Amino acid sequence: MITFGCILGRSAKYLASHPVWRQQIKLQNRMSSSRLPVAAVCQVTATPDKQANFSACKQLVEEAKERGAGMVFLPEGFDYIGSSREESLSLAESLTGDTISQYTQLARKLEVWLSLGGFHERGHDWETDRRLYNSHIIINDKGEIVSVYRKAHLFDVELPEKGVSLKESAFVIPGPTLVSPVQTPIGKVGLGICYDLRFPELSLAMQRHGAEILTYPSAFTVATGAAHWEVLLRARAIENQCFVLAAAQVGQHHEKRQSYGHALAVDPWGEVLGDCGGEKPGMVLVEIDLEKFSSIRRNMPVQQHRRDAGFYQSLEKT
């Protein structure tokens, strides 16, 4: 397995002039001829400007494709991050709106799969209650939407000592159900979004249904990210023996909101394969070696050792 550090999307020419980065870029370009599938895990700084956000994400997707990626992962809020509830609602669209149409066209043009990690989708009773779903959309290389997962666990958290105060349920509807893992060119991908990372029941359900890769596109706060981001992602990878790919928001979105960054790729042993850092947009490219995945599960057959569901519920009966 070959992995490399974060490539900064807007600084390729500058980086190419530095010996260390020049060597990494040369190695990354070599990925395009690799027999192993390549995933690009992206890091962006979304603002309320939807068109500027699309332009930045489009550049990352194009660069990822040039470097051999078969699937590109964008974070929660890739479409925008509003500065207020009212602004977030005013910018929302349906799955048939302009934003998703732009991404389906991009996927079709570049012949690349996309994980769009948290789209502000107008809810089913939009005209009545003006509420959203936080939706994770998978688009195939033909530009077709093949799966939509709506975030199940909403971030309603007050941490005054950490300066964190967010109530996602004020305008977001919790998703009604999980969706089955999606077969993609890089492997079978199980879908979550951000706060879902804290609920191991979700990842276990994905693993039981054949997931080889878990993905948690996110916009973690700086305080919670510094404390929990990496350790949670590595835990989900280790306990499920899956790859974990987590695209992330980074930096200052507007005066009221900042994100932790550190878009991460983790292997089934819990090793961090790539980290985009906490300062700038960019991407990490990673080869997905499913033979390593199979070897770890074969040599440490945790899933075979798991007892039936009744065993773990036995305490509830006492």
Which residue matches tokens 């509003």? 82
Per annotation, catalytic residue among 6, 57, 76, 242 = 76
Is 151 an active-site residue? yes
Catalytic residue among 93, 151, 242, 276: 151
Q: Which residue out of 6, 42, 194, 242 is catalytically annotated?
A: 194
Q: Where in the sequence numbering do the catalytic residues fall?
A: 76, 151, 194
